[in-house]
Each structure stands twice: as C-alpha cells, then as structure tokens.
Amino acid sequence: MEEEGREHEPRKRKERRDKGLVMITRRDQYCIAWIAEQYGVRRDQLQRLLAWNSGKKEVSEITVRDQLERWRRAGWIESRRMLADELGYAWTTRKGLAMVDLDDIYTAKEPASTRLGHIYAVNEIRLELEKKYA
C-alpha cells in the first residue's frame, strides 16, 4: 500500500535537451551581420533596426533590452555605455562574427570611443537608405 499523499505528487518532467540554448532566428542573423558590417550600433539605432526587421513601426525599449540580453547570453555581442552623455553601443564578438560567417572579414573588438560619432553617423545614413529603398 502506498503512503498517504504520495499518489498526488506531480510527475517530474524530463528536461529538454535544448534548455538554455539560444536558437538562431533570421532576425538574429540579419541584425548581427548588420552590426558587424557597421562596427557597432547605438541602442536607439538598434531599436529602429529591430522594428524595421520585424515589420513594425517601432519596438519598445524593453524589447531592445531583452534582445541585447539574449544575444549577450548567446555570446554574439557585447555592449556597454561608453560616453556619459550617450546611450550604450553594441558590437559583435568572435562568436557572433562566426555565426554570420563574417569572421574572416571583420575583427571582433570594442569600437574606439573616438570613432563613435562616425559610426553613429554612418549608421543613420544606412538606416535611412534601407528604409527608403528596401
């Protein structure tokens, strides 16, 4: 005879084999390659890139934060705030470059703070051109 109360214990589910893995989406591939090609992206520009690539007018700041955290967890990007009066920047890691097959073209390194203005300006131009012609 079973002990009283044991028959009501819930079954333990078998743990998924892919638990903790970050699965790659087409949006991940596009955005990580875009960031690599531009040498980095400022957080507000990433917000526009994510929205455009999702077919939406905009995405929330929470979506951007969650996406950055997901990519960080996967090891594809690093990010931090570099200038006191600006939003943070994200750039690709070696693993991120390899994921989009750009590791033989680009080097994974944090952008120099002296180049952030240039990177920002070039990103603005590319975002506008893609919005207009894509």
The whole-number pLDDT of residue 61 equals 95
How do residues 76-87 score in pLDDT, each as one tens digit? 999 999 999 999
The answer to whether position 8 is within a domain reads: no
Rounded distance, CA 28 to CA 1, Å?
55
In a domain, 6, yes or no: no
The verdict on residue 16 lying in a domain is no
Query: Which residues are 42's β-sheet partners?
Result: 89
22 neighbors 73 (Cβ within 8 angstroms):
yes
Q: What is the mean pLDDT of residues 20-43?
A: 94
Phi/psi class of residue 60: alpha, beta or left (left: φ > 0; alpha: ψ in -120 to 50)?
A: beta
Per the structure, the complete domain to which residue 101 belongs is given by 22-133
pLDDT confidence tier of residue 11, bands split at 50, 70 and 90: confident
pLDDT(17) > 90: no
pLDDT digits (tens, 9 = 90+) for 35-50: 999 999 999 999 999 9
Residue 4 has pLDDT above 70, yes or no: no
Q: Give domain status of residue 3, yes or no.
A: no
How far, in Å, CA of 68 to CA of 78, rounded? 8
Helix, strand, coil % (nearest 5) of the chain?
Answer: 50, 5, 40
CA nearest to 91, candidates 34, 22, 24? 34
- Strands of 1-134 (E only): list them: 41-42, 77-80, 89-92
Does some domain include residue 58? Answer: yes
CATH number at residue 119: 1.10.10.10
Confidence at 10, pLDDT banded by 50, 70, 90: confident
**Distance between CA atoms of residues 108 and 104, nearest Å:** 10
pTM: 0.84
Q: Which helix (H) or strand (E) holds 43?
A: helix 43-54
How many domains would you assign to the chain? 1
Q: Is residue 119 part of a domain?
A: yes
Which tens digits make up the pLDDT trace of 48-103?
A: 999 988 888 899 999 999 999 999 999 999 999 999 999 999 999 999 999 999 99
In a domain, 5, yes or no: no
Q: What is the pLDDT of residue 7?
A: 64
**Has residue 2 been placed in a domain?**
no
* Residue 91 bridge partners (DSSP): 78
